Structure formats: C-alpha cells, structure tokens
Amino acid sequence: MGKKLVLTAALLSLATPAFAADIIQPAPVKAPMPPAPIFTWTGFYIGAHGGGAWSKWTGIDPTDPTSTWSSVSASGGVVGGQIGGNYQISNFVVGLEGTGAWSSVTLNAGGPFGGGAGFNLTLKNDYVATVAGRLGVVFDRVLLYAKGGAAFTRDRYSANNGLAGALAGSAAGAFNRTGWVAGGGVEWMFMPNWSVRVEYNYLGFGAITEQPVTSGNLVATPANVKLNIQTGTIGVNYHF
C-alpha cells in the first residue's frame, strides 16, 4: 500500500507542471492594423463639363470694307469633356489636360458687322478646344490650380443683304483659329475616384484674314478680325 501511494505522488508531481503549462497560455497577439492609404492626386482622369461662354469679335466687316473698326459680342453655352493626368510632388500638382466642347455661342444681328442697315448677320463659334498644362497646390482633397496652353476654335460668318430677287446677295465662311488659353479653378475630391470642379478660362485669338464666299448681289473683301472667348464651367472627373 505504501509503495502505491509513493508511486501515485510521483506521477502527480510529474503531471502538474505540464497541466499548469496547458492552463497558463499567453494571449494571442493581434496583428497591427494596416496603415490607411495615403491620398494622392497622382493618376489619370476623364470627365465632362458644361457652362457658359462669351465671345467678342473685333475688326472690319468683310462685306462692308468702308465701315470703321468695331466689335460685337455674343454668348451661349458649352458642353464637352476633358482627359488628363496629374502628378503630385509634396503639396504641389503638375499635369496636362485636353478639353473639347461643342459651343452654341451665336450672334444674330445687323449693323456694323452686317454690312450696315438692312443686313442680317450670324456669327457663331462651333467648338472650343484646349491643350494646357496645369500647376496647382493641394489641401488634402482640395486642389487649387492655374492652367495655360494652346486654344482652338472655329467661327462661322453668314450674312445676307436683306433684299430679294436679282438684288439678293449672301456671304458665308468658316474660319479655324489657333490661340492661347489662360485660366484656373478649384477641384474637390468629394468621394473616392470622383471629383467636381469649377473653372474659368480666357482664350485669346489674334487677328486673321477672313474672306467669306459670296453669291448674288454681294461682294466681300479680305478683312482682319480678332476674337477672344471667356468660359465659365462646372465639371466632374473620374480618377483612375
């Protein structure tokens, strides 16, 4: 009997440390949370925009070379799209962007640019397009930027002398222009991959020689006409 007690005590003494080791286990260590991704404006984007535009033609009417130097203004809307890319360096962003927009800027009138009283005149910008560099400063998800580069448009000239029969005459022409653009805006990344922006641009086009094609009882002579356009737009971009 004594030997059994001694053997039992020995077995218990050997099992106790292992049993205690099974009970006292260190709590598992949780893996640290991954750091939140750092926001950046770097990347490509595509979007759409729309707003208003204001044009001003200055020169002499091709159908009335005796008229004095004068100017006329027109307004309308623009709707189009843009594509570009940004690269962020610290708190600054550099980028390149191309835009293209259909334009409804149209003037329907008579007078100085219509050969004088009795003439009917239409001046119109078909489209407005730009290729420009952008430079901006960021405040987290807000980007303030300026832009500058090349601008393109086409203006259409159409006139008639308001007469009928053998005395009727008309003139028409389409003239492509290349100039420059300067502007700026503010853009806000309101949710992942999506931003909204407000932008103003001034487009300057130097004087070019315009000579419409005439028919009937109307003569047109070459005339220098210059043009400037201002646009104010709201746009949205999707960032890849």
144-153 burial, b at 16+ Cβ within 10 Å, e below that, comes to ebebbbebbb
**pLDDT at 23 > cutoff 90:** no
Structure token digits, residue 195: 């931003």
Average pLDDT over every residue of 152-172: 90
Helix (H) or strand (E) holding 22: helix 2-23
Residue range 49-239, CATH number: 2.40.160
> Number of C-alpha atoms within 13 angstroms, CB side, residue 231?
34
In the block, tokens 């329907």 appear at: 108
User: Using alpha carbons only, what angle is made at residue 71 by residues 69 and 72, rounded to the nearest 5 degrees?
Assistant: 150
Strands (E), 90-162: 92-103, 106-111, 116-139, 142-160
Give per-residue pLDDT as tens, 77-91. Answer: 999 999 999 999 999
pLDDT computed for residue 131 by the predictor: 98
Residues 6+ apart with CB under 8 A from 130: 97, 98, 99, 149, 150, 151, 152, 181, 201, 203
**pLDDT at 4 > cutoff 80:** no
Give per-residue pLDDT as tens, 47-64. Answer: 999 999 999 999 988 887
Give per-residue pLDDT as tens, 85-119. Answer: 999 999 999 999 999 999 999 998 776 676 666 78
Contact between 49 and 235 (Cβ < 8 Å):
yes
Quote the mean pLDDT of the chain.
87
Nearest by Cα to 212 from 118, 108, 113, 128: 113
pLDDT computed for residue 19 by the predictor: 46
Measured distance CA(149)–CA(167) in Å, rounded: 47
pTM value? Answer: 0.81
Phi, psi angle pair for 104, to nearest 5° = -110, 15
Measured distance CA(153)–CA(176) in Å, rounded: 6
pLDDT computed for residue 163 by the predictor: 86
CA distances, 54 to each of 183, 201, 240 (Å): 15, 11, 33
